[in-house]
Each structure stands twice: as C-alpha cells, then as structure tokens.
Amino acid sequence: MSQPIEVHYWPTPNGHKVTIALEEMGLPYEIVPVNIGRGDQFKPEFLKISPNNRMPAIVDPDGPGGQPISVFESGAILQYLGRKTGQFYGKDERAQVQVEEWMYWQMANLGPVSGHGNHFRNYAPSMTKDSRHLAYGAIRFTNEAERLYGVLNGRLKDHEYLAGDYSLADMINWPWIGAWRILGIDFDAFPNVKAWYDKIREREAVKRAIARGEETRRGPGLADSGADAEAARKMLFGQRARAPA
C-alpha cells in the first residue's frame, strides 16, 4: 500500500475540494492542519510547499518516478490527482476539456466572487464602522454570485452533472455552493443547482470528507467577537506584500 498523501488543510471550501477528491478516489491521506486564523500559513515549512501562503497544499511521497512531489493551489491539486489515478477526469480529450472548463470557471468566478461576497457581508462589518466601505462591495459581489448561480442553474437544466459523468468539475464547485446561506442567496430560485447540490451531499465520500473537516476545526469563527476572533481577522485580512527574508 502506498504511503498516505499529506494534505496541508483547513476546513474551508478550498480545503474540502481536496479531501472530497481523495475520498472519492480511495487514496490514503493524512491531514496536516493549517490553522489560517493562527497564522500557520506563514510558517517557513509551509511556505516551502505553498509560496503564496494559502492552503490547501499536498505532498505526495509517491509522485512521478516514485519521487515525492508537492503541489499547491486546489485546482492544480485536483488535476494532479486526476492524472495520477485516471479517475473523474474524463475518458477522452473532449470529456477532459469539459471538466477543465468548469474547473477553471470555479477558480476564476465562483470561488473568488463567493469569497469576496462573504467578506463584505459577514467579516467586514466587524472591521469597520463606515457603512460606505461595505455597501457597494456587498451588493456588487452578492449580485455577481447570483448571476453565477444562474449560469450553473442553466447548465444543470439538461445535465445531471457539470461535465457529463460525475467528475472533478463537480467536486471543485460543490463546496462553494454551500456558501449560499452566508451570501443571502434564495437557493430555491435555482432548483437545478439545489437538486445537484443535495445529490452530491449524499455521496458517502463527500460525507466522510466533511466529517474529517469538522474533526479538524477548532477555535473561534472569524465573524465572532472577542480578542481571538479579532486577532484571526487581522491575520487573514491585514496582509500586504512582504519583502523576502
């Protein structure tokens, strides 16, 4: 049996993508917690494998040629795992193109927009009292998130999954759709997305991945009050360029 893949992880939508894929593929893995509220992402040993100080990242001891390899960025990780196993990445070039289209769509659109919307709606009010700094961002990104849900709803009208068979495209998008509540989106207005989301939620591999995340999570939420939550917000949202040491 191959050695487990190290998953440097925190239970966020981007983290869930990777553990869902690993569970679906049946690959052994172990979680190395990267508590982003405490600054674990800035530790030198983590920056060696993820220079953008963002999780998730993986270290596969059984990489190409039997040699270890580290991979950062969730999309790159899923593509690597798809190539490694030959699973969930389409059976031919045409199918792979469809999978990649919807993977890149998530990375360029659904993920960033949902993240920015969540920030302005839920975290920023704890960081500034000037509502002028909040209203435009909250409205802009919530409206764009709704537009993106509409894109997905149209795609899923005549497709059970995003790219033919259940694939990496579904795994990479699904965790971010779980943000519909915190974005204030009327989920019932997108019935095809809701049906797709509920179907994937019932997959045993997805349940296992989410459970692993709950086991990992500790500490205050970013929207909480108190000194620990305030310190976590400063850690995550106060970053600027840092000159190399």
Predicted pLDDT at 2: 78
In terms of domains, do 98 and 165 share one?
yes
User: CA-to-CA distance for 238 and 149, rounded, in angstroms?
Assistant: 30
Domain annotation covers residue 174: yes
In terms of domains, do 130 and 185 share one?
yes
In terms of domains, do 99 and 124 share one?
yes
Q: By residue range, what is the domain housing residue 48? A: 5-87+206-237
pLDDT in tens, 113-141: 998 888 888 777 777 777 777 888 888 99
pLDDT in tens, 164-214: 999 999 999 999 999 888 889 999 999 999 999 999 999 999 999 999 999
In terms of domains, do 99 and 158 share one?
yes
Residue position matching structure tokens 């953008």: 52
Q: Tell me which residue of 116, 110, 205 sits closest to 162, measured CA to CA.
A: 110
In terms of domains, do 111 and 130 share one?
yes
In terms of domains, do 11 and 52 share one?
yes
pLDDT in tens, 210-226: 999 999 986 444 444 55
CATH number for the domain that contains residue 166: 1.20.1050.10
CATH number for the domain that contains residue 43: 3.40.30.10
* Percentage of residues in the chain having pLDDT higher than 90: 73
Share the mean pLDDT of the chain.
89
